[in-house]
Amino acid sequence: MKGMNAPLTCPECGSGAIRLSRRQGIGERGKIALGNYPFRCLACNHRFWANIWLWSVWKYAKCPRCLGLDLTTWSYKMQHLSYWKKLLVTLGAQRHRCVRCRCNFVSFRPRSPMVGAAPDAMNS
């Protein structure tokens, strides 16, 4: 990744429109256990592998779909929560929403302070 908020991009065409790809066999589980996940580009249909264990941002929440770090919060009153998400929120998990792909998820990790900070908050 070039910048902190740069999502994963396709190495073939450079597009940011990617998604997690399905596993194509039992042998790929070993790679996934080591942090390498298969992705597919929605623009050129290229399948590639990327390591999601980025040591510079491991302590921050990232989107489970696109691995983006630009996150906001969402109101649980507007969403139907599963039992599992309700339990996690009750235990202290934070609600996050990816700005890029609009995925709502919960995580115990905080948002990155360097990404998505408002200009007023940085000046004061």
Q: What is the pLDDT of residue 121?
A: 40
Low-confidence ranges of the chain (pLDDT < 50): 1-6, 117-124
Which residues contact residue 94 at a Cβ distance below 8 angstroms, ignoring those fewer than 6 apart? 61, 73, 106, 107, 108, 109, 110, 111
Q: What is the pLDDT of residue 44?
A: 93
Q: What is the pLDDT of residue 7?
A: 57
Q: What is the pLDDT of residue 76?
A: 66
78-113 tens-digit pLDDT: 677 788 888 888 898 888 888 878 888 889 988 887
The model scores a pTM over 0.85: no
